[in-house]
Amino acid sequence: MTPRPLRLTVNGRAVELVDVPASERLLDTLRWRLRSKGTKEGCRTGGCGACTVLVDGRTCLSCLTLTHEVDGTEVTTIEVGPEDAVVTRVRTAFEEAGALQCGYCTPGFVMALAGLLRERGTSATREELLEGVGGNLCRCTGYVAIVRAIESLRSGGP
Amino acid sequence: MAAFDLVVPETAEEAIAALQTLGPGEAAPIAGGTDLLHDVEEGRLLARRIISLRRLPWRTLDWNGNALTIGSTLPLRALEDDRQVRERYPGLYEAVRNVGSVALRHRATLGGNLVRSAPSSDLIPVLLTLDAEVDLVGPHGDRRVPVDRFVQASRRTDLRTGELVRSIRLPEARPSAFFWQRVRPSNDISQIVLAVAFAPAERSWRVAVGGVTPRPTLLAEAATALGAGRPSPDAVRRAAESASARAPFMTDRRASEEYRRRLVGTLLERAVASTVGTAGFPA
């Protein structure tokens, strides 16, 4: 338990959380405390990337992160609105490339790529972008369309 | 899931004190937490109190000539992104950028990797070839321990109660290389890792291997076989044979002993070729 509230900014909205157990992970805070179900739970061991979010603009596996350890940070998830131009751009690229089948892994892929673009800028190479999703698994194995989305990001669109 | 409380000290002194408030093993530090939280999830964590290191001023990278001191809580991604690290410590750069995934490397740290001391660690073999030393702070003062003595077995190190890893010191830049074998190229645990480095001042090689039991280890005989400079093809072959025969490989769920013994020589040949091709390799 914490003596003072824990503060996060989630998708631009300031939230104060009280009585968050020390062992609670950011993934569970987002999904169950804040009822933001866009971020997905896959393996819970950092092996699949489905839970990827941004913390202060950098990719983060929310299943391997204690919420208290990111106290005071800015968290961005797949639910962020159009005001986030980078996430919006990646989401659009996925839509236009049809880069999803069941869709469960998609939020993780989108956030991993958005994080990479924030880090490396729009000049990120194809290799860097592919490396950026090296920790993301698609159990439908729909990788061809995902790579197509990545290539459209490279060529300036959407 | 195991219940624990979390302490977030502002200074090293506070962190050392917090580590000693409970019995041995009942308080554990957390840096990136990417490996520790595995243990929490599997119910293997015994600690009742976790000491966060996030507010300590240890996310640092300090050069002194060619010697590099890496703060224990610096995220691996920052290490990988440093141009000087890439140029002067190519083996370390390759090892770091092959750990897990980008998202994992934004949190995982060199200090955490050392303290968790996994036999399959991608980073410990490289540190061994660079003669890296661990700078520790603790209730009885500071001390410096070679990585080769610090790492003992999986999750077992020379760390004493109340001690923390403050930084890792690399005494000199060395032409070096790192090669791995895994089932999946990204975000997987290596079956074998192989690191080599050439110490230019003393003109001698280091060869270290991971994916072994009980801990990553230097292979002295293979290093000696490589000689005192650019090795002949025959010397490389003898080093490869020695590594294959001497490395303490075992069969586990990731690979068989036989597979590892066949593979290690190939990785060594590639690593030596890459190292002699490094820009700074002496004539």
Helices (H), A5-158: 26-28, 85-97, 106-120, 126-132, 143-154
Tell me what the pLDDT averaged over chain A comes to.
Answer: 95
Distance CA B183, CA B53 (A): 33
Q: Which residues in B63-80 are b (16+ Cβ under 10 Å) and which e?
A: eeeeebbbbbbbbbbbbb
Helix (H) or strand (E) run with residue B282 in it: none
Q: What is the pTM of this model?
A: 0.96
Domains and CATH numbers, chain B: 5-52 (3.30.43), 61-170 (3.30.465.10), 176-276 (3.30.390.50)
Q: Which CATH class is domain A85-154?
A: mainly alpha
B106 contact residues in A (CB cutoff 8 A): 55, 58-60
* Structure tokens given for A35: 């009822």
Distance CA A104, CA A111 (A): 13
Lowest mean pLDDT among A78-82, B85-89, B278-282: B278-282
CATH architecture of A6-76: Roll (3.10)
Nearest to B9 by CA among B113, B164, B168: B164
Q: Which of B4, B38, B103 sits opposite A52 (nearest CB)?
A: B103
Reported as a single tens digit per residue, the pLDDT across B236-250 is: 999 999 999 999 999
- Give residue limits of the domains in chain A: 6-76, 85-154
**Confidence band, pLDDT 50/70/90 cuts, at residue B1:** low
Q: Which of B1, B10, B37, B116 to mutate to test the interface with A (most CBs of A within 10 A)?
A: B37
Distance CA B91, CA A108 (A): 30
**Polymer length in residues for chain A:** 158
Q: What is the DSSP letter of A25?
A: B
CB pairs under 8 A between A and B: 86
Q: Which of A64, A116, A134 sits opposite B33 (nearest CB)?
A: A64
pLDDT at position B2 is 62
* Structure tokens given for B256: 């068989």
Distance CA A111, CA B271 (A): 35
CB-based contacts of B76, cutoff 8 Å, min separation 6:
B96, B99, B105, B108, B109, B110
CA distance B177 to chain A (A): 20
**Confidence band, pLDDT 50/70/90 cuts, at residue B8:** very high
Reported as a single tens digit per residue, the pLDDT across B31-81 is: 999 999 988 878 888 889 999 999 999 999 999 999 999 999 999 999 999
CB-based contacts of A143, cutoff 8 Å, min separation 6:
none
| Residue A38, SS3 per DSSP | coil
Reported as a single tens digit per residue, the pLDDT across B139-171 is: 999 999 999 999 999 999 999 999 999 999 999
CA distance B185 to chain A (A): 8
A107 contact residues in B (CB cutoff 8 A): none
ipTM: 0.95
Res A1 pLDDT > 70: no
